[in-house]
Amino acid sequence: MINNFMALVLKKIESWLLIIFLFSLPWQTRWIIQDGLIKDSYWEYGTISLYASDILLIIIIILNLIRHYVNKTKINLSKTDLLLLLTTVLVLGANIYLSLNKLLSLFHAGWLLLALGLFIIMRQEIITRSTALVSLIAGAALASALGVWQFISQSTMASKWLGLAQHISENLGSSVIEAVAPDGVTERWLRAYGSLDHPNMLGGLTALIIFFCFYLIFKLETKSNKEKLIVASFILLVAGLICSFSRSAWLAAVSGIIIYLIFVFKHDFKLRLKPVLPLFIIGLITTALLAIPYYYIFLPRFSTASRLEKISAIERVAGYQEALPIIKNNLVLGTGLGTYGLALQANNPKQLVWYYQPIHNFWLLLLAETGLVGLALWLWFIFKQTINAWKNNKEDHLIITGTIVVLLILGLFDHWLMSLHFGILLSAAALGLALKKTNTFDSNGQAR
């Protein structure tokens, strides 16, 4: 009796901490343990940090293990799952041992293990899927609101407690759009960062959460405060997505909506389209209100004629070309987690420090840093978990397909899903929610 009471208390604490974690995930408060350096200059991708979200997640995982011990229950892992986990630990050990920077790879391996723990946590029945999605939506909307303010005011603020850095459009290194105004003057417009390290990250976050909004509005069977929160958040999310000026995020968001429409056409069109019509209307109005007054700023993103767009295209092509010899020379186990920039420096020692960035492709970066073994292990994990979830519940096909498609498109055009702490944890949380077992329902009839 006492054990059952303790287990209930622990689960309640877990649920609240998990809600706080998902809400605060976009905020990058951290303790920088060791600055990353290349050529005696600061290098973000080599910086070793402990994030506030890490501490919160570690507490959640520990409470989860204690609860299972007190309740004398086992975490639902099959023999294949255990084999996969053991193989992952062995591969990470070998990757660290052969790494160009063992300490850096050790910390990145720690992030991956935390992400694996988060994935397992998200699949358990600690909070319902709808509650988890609402937490993510509210947190992302707050980050988007900050991003919209940054774009409209063309200013940012720095705060070590909130993990915010200052970005000024006149400074080199700030992510901007160069556009010719109607009066013929060339202007530099600061893209929206929100609470994150780069506008592409804000765009990627909003693209994923916009799909979750469509999914959740459709799933809510009755009018509730959740629906009001989702609609209000949706306005900010669309605005944040637009102000990020991230083309990959725009494509990912449109793809997620297309996945929803395909699902609609395969089933009852009128029944499944009606609940989300307000979102379509709100999205179009929000887009028009931002795109019409600032139309000339958007034009360069659909052209390669401007100076910055040409530079961006050239750098991306060069990045792919330079990745090939790194991959070829480290084909089996890779250069080591987090060390792609060091490998790039070894091959191109005369470049400036800003040049040593990860390749803008999740899959090629995964191949370069973990080799064929790491890539195969990742594909095995995703394939197995997806197939199992797909077979277990037909009602989950929409969220499984949409989540994977959005993440896949973001990964094809950028690296932050693997190279940065936020991307790793966001991917784990999203996949855990999408592949969550939903054989039970909450008091409102919503799938857990």
- Top-ranked range on mean pLDDT: pick from 278-287, 315-324, 419-428: 419-428
Buried b (16+ CB within 10 A) or exposed e, 162-173: ebbeebebeeee
The phi, psi pair for 312, rounded to 5°, reads -60, -45
Q: Is residue 440 part of a domain?
A: no
247 band by pLDDT with thresholds 50, 70 and 90: very high
Structure-model confidence comparison of residues 64 and 265, the more confident one: 64
The reply to whether the predicted model has a pTM over 0.85 is: yes
Mean pLDDT of the chain: 87
> What b/e sequence results for 178-191 when a residue is b if at least 16 CB atoms lie within 10 Å of its CB, and e otherwise?
ebeeeeeeeeebbb
Q: In the numeric block, which tokens belong to residue 366?
A: 């995964």
Residue 202 has pLDDT above 80, yes or no: yes
- Strand-pair partners of 50: 31
Q: What is the pLDDT of residue 1?
A: 59
In-domain check, residue 95: yes
pLDDT of the residue at 221: 61
Under 8 Å between Cβ of 179 and 186? yes
Per-residue confidence (pLDDT) for residue 76, from 0 to 100: 64
Dihedral over Cα of 382, 410, 405, 439: its sign: positive
> Would residue 347 count as lying in a domain?
yes
> Could you tell me if 444 and 219 are in contact, meaning their C-beta atoms sit under 8 angstroms apart?
no
Give me the pLDDT at residue 217, please.
86
* Domain around 156: 2-434
The rounded Cα 217 to chain-centroid distance in angstroms is 21
Across 382-409, average pLDDT: 88
Lowest-pLDDT choice from 311-315, 358-362, 406-410: 311-315
Domain for residue 439, yes or no?
Answer: no
- Residue 443 in any domain: the answer is no
> Percent of the chain beyond pLDDT 90?
54
Q: Is the pLDDT of residue 309 over 90?
A: no
172 in a structural domain:
yes
Flag whether 121 is in a domain. Answer: yes
Domain count along the chain? 1
pLDDT at 438: 64
* Res 339 pLDDT > 60: yes
In the predicted structure, residue 115 carries a pLDDT above the cut 90: yes
Spatial contact of 153 and 197, defined as CB atoms under 8 Å apart? no
Give me the percent of the chain exceeding a pLDDT of 70: 92
Which of the two residues, 408 and 39, has the higher pLDDT score?
408
Confirm whether 149 is domain-assigned: yes
3-class SS at 5?
A: helix
